[in-house]
Structure 1
Amino acid sequence: MLSTGRYLRPTYKLLSTDYKRSCIRSSWYHRLHTTRNPTQTAMVTDPLEHFDTPNSRIDSVHDTLFEDTTTTLDPFNSFEELDTSLLSKQQKTSDKHDKILNFSDLRQQIYQDILHPEESKGVQSTDLPALNQILKGHRQGELTIVTGTTGGGKTTVMSQLSLDYCKSGVPTLWGSFEILNQRLAKKMLYQFAEKDLSLYPEELDHWGNEFEKLPLYFLKFFSSTAIDDVLEASQHAVDKHGVQHIILDNLQFMLSQQGRSSLDRWELQDYAVHQLRRFATKQNVHISLVVHPRKDPGEQMDINSVFGSAKVTQEADNVIILQKHGLGGLQYLDVKKNRYDGTTGVIPYKFDRESLKIRSCTEDEVKQASKGLNHRSSQSSVQTVTSNYRSRSFSHSS
């Protein structure tokens, strides 16, 4: 046993010495290369010259191996840490939040609106100049709610207005959830030609070719459709075709049979309106949303007659109601909300069956309608509209 121990002991010493030699060289190399003083000449000696014998003291080796180097600083790392600290402090004081603006961020846009007000008003309507006097124009980034009684001409008016803006160069996307696309396109083709083309079959190709040149597109949806699917397709139209005006006709048909209870349907409608409002703002497009009124709205509707919660009209920039009563039998567009400048007013109109378009009534037509009225309140309404025609204004500021 003793002889075995004697043989093992030198082997242990030999292994320990080799290990210590490698570690000491590593420590010596580190100290040599972390010394950055160009004015001194280094005297390099072998640090192992004191440990050539295997019987050297382990304590001496330990002291050399585990020499305290915690106070040794790398000046390059120190300056780098200092620069990083200073930069982080500067960033905290100078960086702007991407959701916070100051006047300098808005200055040019405000100046543009002041110096060139016509540009900020938007695209003007050619078919209904009176609408320009109230709404001032068709602007991107807005949500317009259109309502009216069943059969009151909502789709007819919206197809005419959208076609009017489309002819002025506004790329348009139609989403018809109540009427098939071919029926809607047929109506718009008649409106484009301003005549019943069934009476002029020889002109079909001509007007068809011209109509096809318009930047007009149709969503391939019908009846119940998830709002997320509608927005996904609309996003593609915006990205691919540069669409700036989206018409959805109508909200109730689009969301039909998607809620289990009345409460679910109301929440679903609020969610859809919120998503449409967000999409219009984020994508900078104008969305015209047709919404049915509540049941039995009465002879004359107001902004509370729009079906659904108050969120529908609160989210909207414009609210337009197609009225049938109140002006001696004349139908009229009643602008109840205009967030652009607060101007509201009415536009009496008549429907032309051949062209399937509406036109503003003349002052004489409004006067003629007032003759047969016996009701004092209705008579007062017509007199107000008549005076507006006389002053070449259809609106009043709220």
Structure 2
Amino acid sequence: MSNDLPNVSRWLTYDPMFMAPEDPRGLWFCDGPESVLSIQINAVCLAADASWDDLPHCEAFVSQFQYVLVVCPDPARRETMVNEIRRRLISTAVLVAQDKAFRGCRTIQSLRETYGLKALDQILLDVVELPVYGLLDLADVRQPDFSQMPKVLSGINLLDQAIGGFLMGELSVWTGRRGEGKSTLLGELLLEARDQGETVCAYSGELPAWKFKYWTSLQAAGPDNIRMERDKRSGRQVPVVTELAQAQIDEWFRRKFFLYDIGHSSVHDAGNILRLFEYAHHWYGARVFLVDNIMTARFKGSKDADYYRAQSNFVNALATFARKNGVHVHLVAHPRKTEGKHLAADDVGGIGDITNFADNVFALERAAKKKEQEGDVEMHTVLNILKNRFFGVRRQIGLDFDETSKRFYKSGSGSPAKRFSWEFAGDQLKLTEIAADPDDPFPEA
């Protein structure tokens, strides 16, 4: 036996006199002290006051053994042990004793009492070796059916056909010069997500809540549910959603469309944004998020020299949030000054990590006229797909814009008159048939 091992008794329960790293049986990681006592040789378990997060402190100790063998008769608990050990001892070879090794016994003690010491040695005959954590055998990787992968469509057919929709677990970055319509288009994309039954949550760092709702309500209403009102003082004609439509839209928004409150100064803190997003996801089931825009977020403790690094960390955190929770995050980032040339992915403000972390990168640019295969087509805006990680597609899509409803739509043959599902929600009015009056002097023919 060896007394030269590091002392890790603070985190593991074991008898140092029974530790033999040179023994080819490896280190047996058990489910409790009773099992350790039954096995004795090279047997350990997590100490009573320790947690799995303490396991990395034991890496120097564990590395002295050829491998770790997880020994636990209970399948559910065994799976938990395997997951916790593999996550924290990344470079350690892990073997797992299978159900057959325990011969139907519920504890190691009963296995020893029923079948003797030889049964403990024979556990090694029924083990499976796991790949090192983070290393997969490609042959065992299951490929999903793309058509069944959770996604949200944009409502822009050419965009959906190009990228296959906005997949859950991804981050999309949107850029474009000021006033080119990024925020407006993204408001429309959130409405499309809501129309598909998704709950959405937006951080708009520049617009007060009333203005954000005003624009979004116009987009939800569409041109058929908007009337023009003349401002008596300025003479300006202002589009307003009709009262009946606004009431129905409000019910359509309720508990399905959340806006981050920017009513106090601390709300712009990047950490707060992420915490509120986590809350909206876990409590309200939100799966589509918008950060508009990253330049308005503040990073605690970062000096001017560290600003771009903090910004990069925030984007990385957003991408991690999307992957971990299976949601889609849209992020607006202004480009660097690039007058006189078309935007590229590298033109996004800050450092390159912003687009490196992104699964999709899009740019909006105003265009007076573009030439397409079917001839000259007047377009208000060009949507450029600068990066698409899944399909690798790059494409330009022409969009027109309806000033009244603030809606983008396909250039040329498209129309802003799409009807969202709020128009079909609620109770239908029932018409009551009135019996004919025999004294009616004007009966119907």
What is the TM-score when the length of structure 1 is the normalising length?
A: 0.63
1:233 and 2:268 are equivalent in the alignment: no
* Alpha-carbon distance in structure 2 between the residues aligned to 1:297 and 1:88: 69
RMSD of equivalent CA atoms: 2.9
Alignment of 1:11-50 (within 5 A): none
- Equivalent position amino acid for 2:353 in 1: K
Matched residue, 1:32: none
Return the offset for 1:124: 2.6
1:338–1:232 distance in 2 versus 1, CA, 3 Å: same
1:173–1:200 distance in 2 versus 1, CA, 3 Å: closer
* Alpha-carbon distance in structure 2 between the residues aligned to 1:155 and 1:344: 22
1:149–1:256 distance in 2 versus 1, CA, 3 Å: farther
- Equivalent position amino acid for 2:292 in 1: D
- Equivalent position amino acid for 2:215 in 1: K
* Alpha-carbon distance in structure 1 between the residues aligned to 2:269 and 2:124: 47
Return the offset for 1:99: 3.6
From 254, 261, 266, give the equivalent of 1:220.
261
* Alpha-carbon distance in structure 1 between the residues aligned to 2:299 and 2:368: 32
Matched residue, 2:220: 192
Matched residue, 1:260: 303
1:250 and 2:323 are equivalent in the alignment: no
* Alpha-carbon distance in structure 1 between the residues aligned to 2:359 and 2:366: 23
Matched residue, 2:337: 295
1:207 and 2:236 are equivalent in the alignment: no
Q: Which runs of 5+ in 2 are unaligned?
A: 1-111, 228-238, 371-378, 415-445
| Conserved? CA contact 1:139–1:286, under 8 Å | yes
1:299–1:182 distance in 2 versus 1, CA, 3 Å: same
- Equivalent position amino acid for 2:137 in 1: N
* Alpha-carbon distance in structure 1 between the residues aligned to 2:284 and 2:296: 26
1:251–1:258 distance in 2 versus 1, CA, 3 Å: farther
1:342 and 2:392 are equivalent in the alignment: yes
Greater RCO, CA 8 A, separation 6+: 1
1:307 and 2:357 are equivalent in the alignment: no
Matched residue, 1:94: 129
- Equivalent position amino acid for 1:138 in 2: F
* Alpha-carbon distance in structure 1 between the residues aligned to 2:205 and 2:241: 30
1:129 and 2:157 are equivalent in the alignment: yes
Higher helix share: 1
Report % sequence identity.
24
From 158, 167, 176, give the equivalent of 1:148.
176
| Conserved? CA contact 1:280–1:287, under 8 Å | yes
From 298, 301, 315, give the equivalent of 1:273.
315
| Conserved? CA contact 2:176–2:335, under 8 Å | yes
Return the offset for 1:201: 3.9
From 166, 169, 178, give the equivalent of 2:197.
169
Return the offset for 1:83: 4.4
* Alpha-carbon distance in structure 1 between the residues aligned to 2:301 and 2:205: 14
What is the TM-score when the length of structure 2 is the normalising length?
A: 0.57
From 197, 206, 210, give the equivalent of 1:182.
210
Return the offset for 1:189: 0.9
Q: How many residues align?
A: 280
Return the offset for 1:335: 0.5
3-state DSSP of counterpart to 2:313: helix
Return the offset for 1:214: 6.5
Return the offset for 1:134: 1.4
1:148–1:219 distance in 2 versus 1, CA, 3 Å: same
Return the offset for 1:205: 4.6
| Conserved? CA contact 2:202–2:290, under 8 Å | yes
Return the offset for 1:178: 1.3
- Equivalent position amino acid for 1:266 in 2: Y
- Equivalent position amino acid for 1:362 in 2: G
Return the offset for 1:103: 4.9
* Alpha-carbon distance in structure 1 between the residues aligned to 2:198 and 2:360: 19
Q: Which runs of 5+ in 1 are unaligned?
A: 1-75, 365-398
* Alpha-carbon distance in structure 1 between the residues aligned to 2:116 and 2:274: 50
Matched residue, 1:24: none
Return the offset for 1:334: 0.3
Return the offset for 1:271: 0.8
Greater C-alpha radius of gyration: 1
Return the offset for 1:181: 2.0
